[in-house]
Amino acid sequence: GAVVSQHPSWVICKSGTSVKIECRSLDFQATTMFWYRQFPKQSLMLMATSNEGSKATYEQGVEKDKFLINHASLTLSTLTVTSAHPEDSSFYICSARTSGNSYNEQFFGPGTRLTVL
Amino acid sequence: EDQVTQSPEALRLQEGESSSLNCSYTVSGLRGLFWYRQDPGKGPEFLFTLYSAGEEKEKERLKATLTKKESFLHITAPKPEDSATYLCAVALWGKFQFGAGTQVVVTP
């Protein structure tokens, strides 16, 4: 149980284009999903917290107009990187938390490798 | 300031050589400490949750313990397949704050 999927697993795009990444909880309902980015040999940095049916909460320093997050259902959240540039190249990972206790463990997706040329 | 510090940064072990990883935290109102394993190019895989000092959990060759200021992840008689980066995270206001991780390499 508690499986989270991401699609695509990797994507290469040209500078200036937009890229959408999907995060799905496959066998549970996730009232809260999180988006992280991870640079090589570094730990996970939280970008935003997404609650189903409401606007995402972004961490300090994360541009909400650049990283659009939609959490339209209890099993799907999407991250759209708008007008991507090479500095946006990174490993993007989502996680999902089951409903209930807000201090429950998060289950992570396999990640999406974004390369912007 | 809330902080999560993991040590060592890297650990190289011979197969069968037991060792411990440390995760120390300076946070007020800990609501849970979590251990994850991450393989290169993959998302973190959940290992353990600890909620109160004195709590211990085990899974195969791994054992996690918690005190009021730190947590240890003990690896007993490791095998090469235990090679990974081990991350700890503390739950704060419903969000996770991760440590930098310990990269473990187990050689045959």
pLDDT digits (tens, 9 = 90+) for A58-74: 999 999 999 999 988 88
Cβ contacts (< 8 Å) between A110 and chain B: which residues? 42-43
What single letter denotes the amino acid at residue A13? Answer: C
> Using a CB-CB distance cutoff of 8 angstroms, which residues of chain B are in contact with residue A93?
43-44
Chain A: give the shortest CA distance to residue B79, in Å. Answer: 23
Question: What are the pLDDT tens digits along chain B (108 aa)?
Answer: 668 999 999 999 999 999 999 999 987 777 899 999 999 999 999 999 999 999 999 999 999 999 989 999 999 999 999 999 999 999 887 889 999 999 999 999
Q: Give me the residue from A43, A49, A104 closest to B98, CB to CB.
A: A43
Contact call for B46 and A102, based on CB within 8 A: no
Tokens coding B101: 């991780």
pLDDT > 90 fraction of chain A, expressed in percent and rounded:
74
Q: How many CB pairs under 8 A join A and B?
A: 53
A9 pLDDT above the threshold of 80: yes
Confidence band, pLDDT 50/70/90 cuts, at residue A101 = low
In angstroms, what CA-CA distances link B70 with A18, A19, A78, B54?
A: 42, 40, 35, 11
Please give the C-alpha separations between residue A28 and each of A36, A59, A76, B36, B67, in angstroms, as whole numbers. Answer: 20, 26, 11, 20, 32
Q: Are A9 and A92 in contact (CB under 8 A)?
A: no
